[in-house]
Amino acid sequence: MTLLEHDRIVINQKAKLIELTNEYLIRDTDGNEVGVIRQEGQSTLKKLARFVSSVDQFMTHKLAVYDATGTKVLEVVRPRKFVKSTVEVYDGMGQLAGTIRQQNVFGKIRFGLHDAAGTKIGEIRAENWRAWNFSIVDQLEAEVGRITKTWEGLAKTMFTTADNYLLDVSPMLRGPLRMLTFASAVGVDTALKQDSRGLG
Protein backbone atom coordinates (compact mmCIF):
# COMPACT_ATOMS: atom_id res chain seq x y z
CA MET A 1 0.00 0.00 0.00
CA THR A 2 1.36 3.42 -0.95
CA LEU A 3 1.20 6.32 1.49
CA LEU A 4 -1.64 8.05 -0.38
CA GLU A 5 -3.71 4.85 -0.37
CA HIS A 6 -4.11 4.86 3.42
CA ASP A 7 -7.66 5.71 4.49
CA ARG A 8 -6.80 6.60 8.09
CA ILE A 9 -3.56 8.16 9.30
CA VAL A 10 -2.33 10.08 12.33
CA ILE A 11 -0.19 13.14 11.62
CA ASN A 12 1.91 13.92 14.68
CA GLN A 13 3.88 17.12 14.98
CA LYS A 14 7.15 16.40 16.75
CA ALA A 15 7.23 18.11 20.13
CA LYS A 16 9.58 21.09 20.42
CA LEU A 17 9.71 23.72 23.14
CA ILE A 18 10.26 26.42 20.53
CA GLU A 19 9.19 25.58 17.02
CA LEU A 20 11.74 26.67 14.43
CA THR A 21 11.57 23.85 11.89
CA ASN A 22 8.27 22.00 11.50
CA GLU A 23 8.37 18.22 11.29
CA TYR A 24 5.56 15.71 11.42
CA LEU A 25 5.45 11.92 11.62
CA ILE A 26 2.74 10.01 9.73
CA ARG A 27 1.53 6.79 11.33
CA ASP A 28 -1.10 4.22 10.46
CA THR A 29 -3.75 3.13 12.95
CA ASP A 30 -1.43 0.42 14.30
CA GLY A 31 1.19 3.01 15.18
CA ASN A 32 3.57 2.10 12.36
CA GLU A 33 5.51 5.01 10.86
CA VAL A 34 4.45 5.21 7.20
CA GLY A 35 5.79 8.64 6.29
CA VAL A 36 7.23 11.94 7.41
CA ILE A 37 6.58 15.60 6.64
CA ARG A 38 9.52 17.99 6.84
CA GLN A 39 9.84 21.72 6.45
CA GLU A 40 12.39 22.53 3.77
CA GLY A 41 14.14 25.62 2.43
CA GLN A 42 14.64 27.48 5.70
CA SER A 43 17.79 29.56 6.04
CA THR A 44 19.51 30.18 9.38
CA LEU A 45 18.36 33.81 9.20
CA LYS A 46 14.75 32.73 8.71
CA LYS A 47 14.96 30.37 11.71
CA LEU A 48 16.36 33.22 13.81
CA ALA A 49 13.55 35.53 12.69
CA ARG A 50 10.98 32.90 13.70
CA PHE A 51 12.63 32.64 17.11
CA VAL A 52 12.61 36.34 18.01
CA SER A 53 9.43 37.58 16.33
CA SER A 54 6.00 36.74 14.97
CA VAL A 55 6.84 37.07 11.28
CA ASP A 56 5.71 33.56 10.28
CA GLN A 57 2.73 34.88 8.36
CA PHE A 58 4.98 36.98 6.13
CA MET A 59 7.20 34.02 5.21
CA THR A 60 6.75 31.27 2.65
CA HIS A 61 6.53 27.80 4.19
CA LYS A 62 7.35 24.63 2.26
CA LEU A 63 6.57 21.17 3.64
CA ALA A 64 7.56 17.97 1.79
CA VAL A 65 5.75 14.67 2.39
CA TYR A 66 7.83 11.49 2.10
CA ASP A 67 6.74 7.86 2.30
CA ALA A 68 8.53 5.21 4.38
CA THR A 69 11.07 4.61 1.58
CA GLY A 70 12.06 8.29 1.43
CA THR A 71 10.21 8.99 -1.83
CA LYS A 72 8.56 12.41 -2.02
CA VAL A 73 4.82 12.03 -2.67
CA LEU A 74 3.51 15.54 -1.96
CA GLU A 75 4.72 19.07 -1.40
CA VAL A 76 2.69 21.68 0.46
CA VAL A 77 3.64 25.35 -0.01
CA ARG A 78 2.07 28.30 1.80
CA PRO A 79 3.21 31.57 0.24
CA ARG A 80 3.49 34.61 2.51
CA LYS A 81 0.16 35.43 4.12
CA PHE A 82 -1.48 38.79 4.72
CA VAL A 83 -5.08 38.04 5.74
CA LYS A 84 -6.22 34.77 4.17
CA SER A 85 -3.98 31.80 3.44
CA THR A 86 -3.61 29.92 0.17
CA VAL A 87 -1.78 26.60 0.28
CA GLU A 88 -0.41 25.10 -2.94
CA VAL A 89 -0.25 21.30 -3.22
CA TYR A 90 2.17 19.58 -5.62
CA ASP A 91 2.63 15.90 -6.42
CA GLY A 92 5.93 14.09 -5.92
CA MET A 93 7.12 15.17 -9.38
CA GLY A 94 6.55 18.85 -8.65
CA GLN A 95 3.35 19.19 -10.71
CA LEU A 96 0.61 21.37 -9.23
CA ALA A 97 -2.24 19.18 -7.96
CA GLY A 98 -4.36 22.05 -6.69
CA THR A 99 -4.76 24.68 -3.99
CA ILE A 100 -6.37 24.99 -0.58
CA ARG A 101 -7.79 28.52 -0.26
CA GLN A 102 -9.00 30.10 2.96
CA GLN A 103 -12.44 31.61 2.30
CA ASN A 104 -13.12 33.55 5.49
CA VAL A 105 -11.40 34.94 8.57
CA PHE A 106 -14.20 35.10 11.15
CA GLY A 107 -16.58 32.44 12.42
CA LYS A 108 -16.28 28.83 11.31
CA ILE A 109 -13.30 28.78 8.97
CA ARG A 110 -13.77 27.31 5.49
CA PHE A 111 -11.27 26.45 2.78
CA GLY A 112 -12.03 25.87 -0.89
CA LEU A 113 -10.31 22.91 -2.56
CA HIS A 114 -9.38 23.76 -6.16
CA ASP A 115 -7.79 21.58 -8.83
CA ALA A 116 -4.77 22.68 -10.90
CA ALA A 117 -7.06 24.51 -13.35
CA GLY A 118 -8.62 26.52 -10.52
CA THR A 119 -11.97 24.70 -10.52
CA LYS A 120 -13.46 24.27 -7.06
CA ILE A 121 -13.83 20.53 -6.37
CA GLY A 122 -14.50 20.51 -2.64
CA GLU A 123 -14.36 22.32 0.65
CA ILE A 124 -12.90 22.01 4.14
CA ARG A 125 -15.32 23.16 6.83
CA ALA A 126 -14.45 23.85 10.45
CA GLU A 127 -17.06 22.37 12.76
CA ASN A 128 -16.60 25.02 15.44
CA TRP A 129 -15.18 28.54 15.66
CA ARG A 130 -11.93 27.33 17.26
CA ALA A 131 -11.28 25.31 14.09
CA TRP A 132 -9.99 22.13 15.69
CA ASN A 133 -12.14 19.65 13.74
CA PHE A 134 -12.94 19.77 10.03
CA SER A 135 -15.25 18.04 7.59
CA ILE A 136 -14.07 17.67 3.97
CA VAL A 137 -16.79 17.56 1.31
CA ASP A 138 -16.84 17.16 -2.46
CA GLN A 139 -18.75 19.25 -5.03
CA LEU A 140 -21.97 17.42 -4.19
CA GLU A 141 -21.67 18.20 -0.47
CA ALA A 142 -20.88 14.55 0.32
CA GLU A 143 -18.32 14.07 3.12
CA VAL A 144 -15.14 12.49 1.74
CA GLY A 145 -12.80 13.11 4.65
CA ARG A 146 -12.46 14.35 8.20
CA ILE A 147 -9.69 15.98 10.24
CA THR A 148 -9.89 15.52 14.00
CA LYS A 149 -7.45 17.10 16.41
CA THR A 150 -6.49 14.68 19.17
CA TRP A 151 -5.25 16.05 22.46
CA GLU A 152 -2.15 14.87 24.27
CA GLY A 153 -1.70 14.87 28.05
CA LEU A 154 -2.29 18.29 29.59
CA ALA A 155 1.25 18.74 30.97
CA LYS A 156 2.88 17.96 27.62
CA THR A 157 0.49 20.22 25.73
CA MET A 158 1.25 23.09 28.10
CA PHE A 159 4.96 23.01 27.39
CA THR A 160 5.08 22.17 23.68
CA THR A 161 3.27 23.09 20.48
CA ALA A 162 2.97 19.48 19.31
CA ASP A 163 -0.33 18.59 17.68
CA ASN A 164 -1.84 15.33 16.54
CA TYR A 165 -4.31 15.18 13.67
CA LEU A 166 -6.35 12.14 12.75
CA LEU A 167 -7.18 12.13 9.03
CA ASP A 168 -9.94 9.90 7.67
CA VAL A 169 -10.28 9.63 3.88
CA SER A 170 -13.08 7.89 1.99
CA PRO A 171 -11.77 4.65 0.40
CA MET A 172 -13.64 5.61 -2.80
CA LEU A 173 -11.89 8.97 -3.16
CA ARG A 174 -9.48 9.25 -6.12
CA GLY A 175 -7.61 11.83 -8.18
CA PRO A 176 -6.75 15.42 -7.23
CA LEU A 177 -9.36 15.60 -4.46
CA ARG A 178 -7.70 12.67 -2.67
CA MET A 179 -4.32 14.41 -2.86
CA LEU A 180 -5.82 17.67 -1.58
CA THR A 181 -7.65 15.83 1.19
CA PHE A 182 -4.43 14.07 2.19
CA ALA A 183 -2.60 17.40 2.27
CA SER A 184 -5.42 19.07 4.21
CA ALA A 185 -4.40 18.16 7.78
CA VAL A 186 -0.95 19.67 7.54
CA GLY A 187 -2.18 22.35 5.12
CA VAL A 188 -4.77 23.62 7.58
CA ASP A 189 -2.24 23.54 10.40
CA THR A 190 0.20 25.56 8.30
CA ALA A 191 -2.49 28.00 7.18
CA LEU A 192 -4.08 28.70 10.55
CA LYS A 193 -1.84 27.70 13.42
CA GLN A 194 1.70 28.80 12.53
CA ASP A 195 1.21 32.51 13.04
CA SER A 196 0.70 32.24 16.80
CA ARG A 197 3.82 30.20 17.56
CA GLY A 198 7.27 31.21 18.71
CA LEU A 199 8.14 33.94 21.20
CA GLY A 200 6.89 37.04 19.44
Domain boundaries, the chain: 3-196
Asked if residue 123 has pLDDT above 90, the reply is: yes
Asked if residue 18 has pLDDT above 50, the reply is: no
- Evaluate the CA torsion angle 114, 181, 26, 71 in order and state its sign: negative
Asked if residue 15 has pLDDT above 80, the reply is: no
- CA–CA dist 102, 85 (Å, integer): 5
Closest to 40 (Cα-Cα) out of 62, 20, 17, 55: 62
Fold that domain 3-196 belongs to in CATH = Porin (2.40.160)
CB atoms within 10 A of CB 31: 7
- CA–CA dist 169, 38 (Å, integer): 22
Report pLDDT digits (tens) over 54-74: 444 445 778 899 999 999 999
- Per-residue confidence (pLDDT) for residue 192, from 0 to 100: 67
User: Which burial class, exposed, middle or buried, applies to 88 when counting CB atoms under 10 A from its CB (0-12, 13-18, 19+)?
Assistant: buried
- CA–CA dist 52, 50 (Å, integer): 6
Q: What is the pTM of this model?
A: 0.80
The most confident of 67-81, 92-106, 125-139, by mean pLDDT: 92-106
User: Which burial class, exposed, middle or buried, applies to 194 when counting CB atoms under 10 A from its CB (0-12, 13-18, 19+)?
Assistant: buried
